[in-house]
Chain A
């Protein structure tokens, strides 16, 4: 496993990272423009409200006049309606952008992942891929939409408010306008520190989750080692760290908010100190004073928005970079352009050009090492497997039995040498051509959530129910379906977990049979199942092998004995090969493996 972590890194804001997302912005250009316009409108109304109040104070309260009260009310309501419309529209647009943007990113990632090689999946934990596809994309979408909302509203509120104040009265307005840069600087400084502390807190939090997980999964071991006390005291250290971290982070914001309010109060104090004299001398109206104070109180919010969006944008860069890296990761196994031209690709196959596959397989001077490995596991390997042959691969756990299968399936390609299928290098045909002709039955059967029908016809979408039932009968799994409440329509649950392992295995056999592949790969389970299921599975195996070229990663003696050819693997290398009898006669490693299996099966 390569070591891929989700560490958040600190890096300055960089527009280039965003530029990389360019194509994803395209479909949303109009919506984004709409958001910008609406946010400007919204901020104008927000700036107008203190002016409205000033108007009321000067013309009515101060003048002690009640005439035209209806005009005041209706002007106010008109403003509110504009505000209402702007809010409804921008919220809708923003949610459409947020969800649409992340939807497109998710789709792009998922589609790209369908083309990546198995080596990528073998070296990357599923959790890591999931985090990229599901949560990074969400964060990017969130920032694109709501970041723009905050940016435009915050900027235009500040600009319009400053303009309004300076026009109302330059001498008073300058006090607040002059404070804004300081507020911005202080806010940014605090935000960065708060962000940094929050990051530590999040990291500690995920450690705590990990500890709970480990504390539960490892409970049995901890008990047998009698180290519960060590675990408990280490956990207490961790929660202590969490306590300290959270209190530190909260202290920063506990200082920040009052400090910002102090800036506001300073501006208010200066406005009052100067303004009272102006009012007394009659050079400005009371309403002006009121509007100024309102701006001084309100300005705090847009400033916080602005500073927030910059920290968020900087933080989201990490998400973008990870998604970008995933999208740029190129598959190690690719069909050449010439091949794609004739055979099509995985999404747009040109089945009409596909020749039928017979099933002769030949390893021709194959040398191979895994991309992340250092040692050659095959060197100058030659093997002819005529169509219809059954090859068993045996060896102890972890000996490297899957290598040949990985090569036959073209999950990996030979480092040197060629693999011929029906006499032609398989790289001269498309991957999908080969895969459409391979049936794969896994050690731990993998089913998909959905109905039993969907699962069985996974390899042949257009199969009729009769065909499905026929293939079930062939592997004697008919009663598995009959036992289900809604027969073929029954939901098998996530990963098929509503079925037992044996049942899952039988369904996956039926799935392979229905696809009617020319080449069959069977990765046999070591897990113990009851003898009855075991018997049925053996029966199913012998049924589906007939007439196909097959590779069995085998453990059970009965399966091994079915093979025409047995390859014995040790430490990743083929050390013996031959038929069962030939190998027994050698009295080598195979004999030892065989007798070990014999004794464990007899108990």
Chain B
């Protein structure tokens, strides 16, 4: 059973690789063909040397017609190769053969890299665009680090397979096959001797690498722990200092550091024997050829030229075969990586049906008996309200009351299922509209907005090039962030993020507000997006929005009562339900949460006066 599924998995992964290879297949064909030609040319030089040497030694040379005709083509014959006048011809002949080899070699490497890198580019592009189109619900369940790791390390493993290992395996095998066909046709006992140690060399390196991988893993883990100690120390430096634990930390690091170094030194002992034994086997192979050669020569079964060919071929194939063990051990990882990438590809992306409407939307927003559950946990229960076009709605509620979900549903980060009610804009169910259209029409500013590692101007313009600097500045001034931006060394061209300036939480929020204002959507949502801005700036932003951005339907979500007190309508939410709804004046007299908060604010003031009275 286990094997069966593993087999089908491998088939899937091979299919994925095959699909990705579209566009690179011709290049691979060229690469493989020229690789084989290059190998053939490489084999030609020793044969040429054999021919030349044996011509001089007086031994029979006509063993390979292709070599003989090459020599004839150069205008040489066995009897004339050693003549002074023919030196130039010999030079030309040897160089010509290797020049052909060189040209094939170059073609092979270049077309291989073009094919492989093309494949990798397609893989990366597809991964990225797939991830961009995966739904919001996928994004909140995954671990960013894990996915980034797959997109980088696993892609790298696939890359080294398609750009190296694949052709290396084929090359080593074809070298060996080529060589043995020629060697056996030349001299059977000698060929058998040349073959003697080769399987051992291959099996030995394959088994060694397979069995030591677990120790490499242990060393990697030790390094990971060392890294963790360092990381915790540097990021927790205040705790370390405040408790005066420098000595303890240094000892802890030193002992793990020592452990890690020792693990590697132990691994080094195994590696040293492995390498040395590999050399030893290679050497024994050479001695076996010499001994058999001597034995054969004493019976007249081999010429000097032939003996030299055996020595050279042996040197040519032993290294690729030694490497083959390593390559095969590493190539095994490719399928694991492909499997991990496949998991990403198998998650379904967001897509709009053919019939999705793409007409501009405007009008009143209606939540019509909306209930919503996420992973079986009810979040919204029977929520109904309307927001008339051009008015402002304030939503008040504690953490977990469902107010953010209202916003997410309205910009279709989630979709309502069957029987969960309906959300309409201008009378149209938003599920019938194209997603991108809804999101372009409903501008939302998140509580913890994300800024791209670009310039501030690019961030405000949402990476689009359609806005002028004037427009960008205007948006920044409405969101009260223009002064802060002008303080930076490069003003609007200042880079944000790791390689640039670090913005405070409040500055980020204001840049994000500017970004939404610039897009001028007919509906704007502020999802607690002024939480890190001080109260004065908060009210200045709201005033600027009121005066300078007209006709926009606005939803302000907040737990700060002052932020929503200017709304036309307020709803108060608790546990996914609307518990109060009305104009600020109505709610004030209603005696609910809203009223209570206003009261307690007065209480605070009273308390002050009271305190004043007492002293």
B-facing residues in A221-254 (Cβ within 8 Å):
221-228, 230-232, 234-236, 239-240, 242-243, 246-247, 250-251, 253-254
Q: How far is the CB of A259 from chain B (nearest CB, A)?
A: 7
- Kindly specify which of A10-18, A179-187, A208-216, A334-342 makes contact with the partner chain: A208-216
Q: What's the Cα separation between A421 and B177 when bound, in Å?
A: 84
Q: What's the Cα separation between A60 and B231 when bound, in Å?
A: 66
- Contact check, B276 vs A91: say whether CB atoms are below 8 A apart: yes
Q: Which 7 A-B pairs have the closest CB atoms?
A: A95-B268, A258-B102, A440-B242, A91-B272, A66-B298, A265-B98, A254-B109
Q: Is A69 an interface residue (CB 8 A)?
A: yes
**In the complex, chain A residues whose CB is within 8 Å of the CB of B128:** 211-212, 215, 231-232, 235
Q: How many interface residues does chain B have, given as a range?
A: 35 or more
Q: Is A113 an interface residue (CB 8 A)?
A: yes
Q: What's the Cα separation between A347 and B253 when bound, in Å?
A: 14
Q: What are 26 A-B contacts defined by CB distance under 8 Å?
A: A1-B502, A65-B294, A72-B290, A80-B287, A107-B253, A110-B253, A113-B234, A209-B152, A212-B151, A219-B131, A221-B449, A225-B439, A225-B462, A232-B128, A232-B132, A253-B109, A257-B105, A259-B102, A265-B95, A269-B94, A277-B83, A435-B244, A440-B238, A446-B232, A449-B229, A584-B604
**In the complex, chain A residues whose CB is within 8 Å of the CB of B567:** none
- Contact check, A217 vs B295: say whether CB atoms are below 8 A apart: no
* Cβ 8 A contact of A250, one of B110, B142, B561: B110
- In this complex, the member of B84, B98, B398, B502 whose beta carbon has the largest number of chain A beta carbons within 10 angstroms is B98
Q: A99-B264, A223-B439, A269-B95 are in contact. Are A212 and B152 (CB under 8 A)?
A: yes
- Contact check, B45 vs A268: say whether CB atoms are below 8 A apart: yes
Q: Is B488 an interface residue (CB 8 A)?
A: no
Q: What's the Cα separation between A592 and B608 when bound, in Å?
A: 12
**In the complex, chain A residues whose CB is within 8 Å of the CB of B260:** 99, 103
Main secondary structure of the interface of B (DSSP, over half): helix
Q: How far is the CB of B159 from chain A (nearest CB, A)?
A: 9
Q: What's the Cα separation between A251 and B106 when bound, in Å?
A: 8
Q: What's the Cα separation between A7 and B103 when bound, in Å?
A: 37
Q: Is A167 an interface residue (CB 8 A)?
A: no
- Contact check, A53 vs B311: say whether CB atoms are below 8 A apart: yes
Q: What's the Cα separation between A99 and B549 when bound, in Å?
A: 64
Give me 14 other A-B pairs in contact (C-beta within 8 A), A264-B98, A276-B53, A581-B611 excluded.
A61-B304, A61-B307, A69-B294, A111-B250, A134-B226, A224-B439, A224-B446, A226-B436, A265-B94, A349-B247, A446-B236, A599-B559, A600-B560, A603-B597
**In the complex, chain B residues whose CB is within 8 Å of the CB of A243:** 117-118, 120-121
- Kindly specify which of A286-294, A360-368, A464-472 makes contact with the partner chain: A286-294
Q: A250-B110, A592-B535 are in contact. Are A279 and B248 (CB under 8 A)?
A: no
Q: Is A57 an interface residue (CB 8 A)?
A: yes
Q: Is B520 an interface residue (CB 8 A)?
A: no
* Cβ 8 A contact of A218, one of B94, B276, B450: B450
| Residue of chain A at shortest CB distance from B144 | A216
Q: What's the Cα separation between A280 and B81 when bound, in Å?
A: 10
Q: Is B17 an interface residue (CB 8 A)?
A: no
- In this complex, the member of A258, A259, A600, A602 whose beta carbon has the largest number of chain B beta carbons within 10 angstroms is A258
**In the complex, chain A residues whose CB is within 8 Å of the CB of B446:** 220-221, 224
**In the complex, chain B residues whose CB is within 8 Å of the CB of A64:** 297-298, 300
* Cβ 8 A contact of B232, one of A113, A494, A600: A494
- Contact check, A227 vs B463: say whether CB atoms are below 8 A apart: yes
Mark each residue of chain A from 43 to 77: 1 if its CB lies under 8 Å from any CB of chain B, else 0. Answer: 00000010011001100111011100100110011
Q: How far is the CB of A592 from chain B (nearest CB, A)?
A: 7
A-facing residues in B74-102 (Cβ within 8 Å):
81-84, 87-88, 90-95, 97-99, 101-102
**In the complex, chain B residues whose CB is within 8 Å of the CB of A330:** none
- Contact check, A596 vs B560: say whether CB atoms are below 8 A apart: yes
- Contact check, A239 vs B121: say whether CB atoms are below 8 A apart: yes
- Contact check, B239 vs A440: say whether CB atoms are below 8 A apart: yes
Q: A265-B45, A409-B241, A449-B232 are in contact. Are A87 and B113 (CB under 8 A)?
A: no
* Cβ 8 A contact of A57, one of B118, B250, B304, B452: B304
Q: What's the Cα separation between A435 and B239 when bound, in Å?
A: 10
Main secondary structure of the interface of A (DSSP, over half): helix
| Residue of chain A at shortest CB distance from B271 | A91
Q: A92-B269, A250-B110, A602-B600 are in contact. Are A57 and B308 (CB under 8 A)?
A: yes
Q: How far is the CB of B457 from chain A (nearest CB, A)?
A: 15
* Cβ 8 A contact of A56, one of B240, B241, B271, B293: B293
Q: Is B139 an interface residue (CB 8 A)?
A: yes
- Kindly specify which of B166-174, B210-218, B278-286, B353-361 makes contact with the partner chain: B278-286
- Contact check, B110 vs A110: say whether CB atoms are below 8 A apart: no
The count of residues in chain A whose C-beta lies closer than 8 Å to any C-beta of chain B is 157
Q: Is B498 an interface residue (CB 8 A)?
A: yes
A-facing residues in B578-615 (Cβ within 8 Å):
593, 596-597, 600-601, 604-605, 607-608, 611-612, 615
Q: How far is the CB of B164 from chain A (nearest CB, A)?
A: 11
Q: How far is the CB of A255 from chain B (nearest CB, A)?
A: 6
* Cβ 8 A contact of A286, one of B265, B280, B304, B500: B304
- Contact check, B294 vs A61: say whether CB atoms are below 8 A apart: yes
- Contact check, A439 vs B604: say whether CB atoms are below 8 A apart: no
- In this complex, the member of A53, A98, A515 whose beta carbon has the largest number of chain B beta carbons within 10 angstroms is A53
Q: Is A33 an interface residue (CB 8 A)?
A: no
Q: Is A448 an interface residue (CB 8 A)?
A: yes
Q: What's the Cα separation between A334 and B225 when bound, in Å?
A: 31
- Contact check, A232 vs B82: say whether CB atoms are below 8 A apart: no
- Contact check, B519 vs A121: say whether CB atoms are below 8 A apart: no
Q: What's the Cα separation between A407 and B596 when bound, in Å?
A: 41
* Cβ 8 A contact of A276, one of B90, B261, B463: B90
B-facing residues in A72-99 (Cβ within 8 Å):
72-73, 76-77, 79-80, 83-85, 87-92, 94-96, 98-99
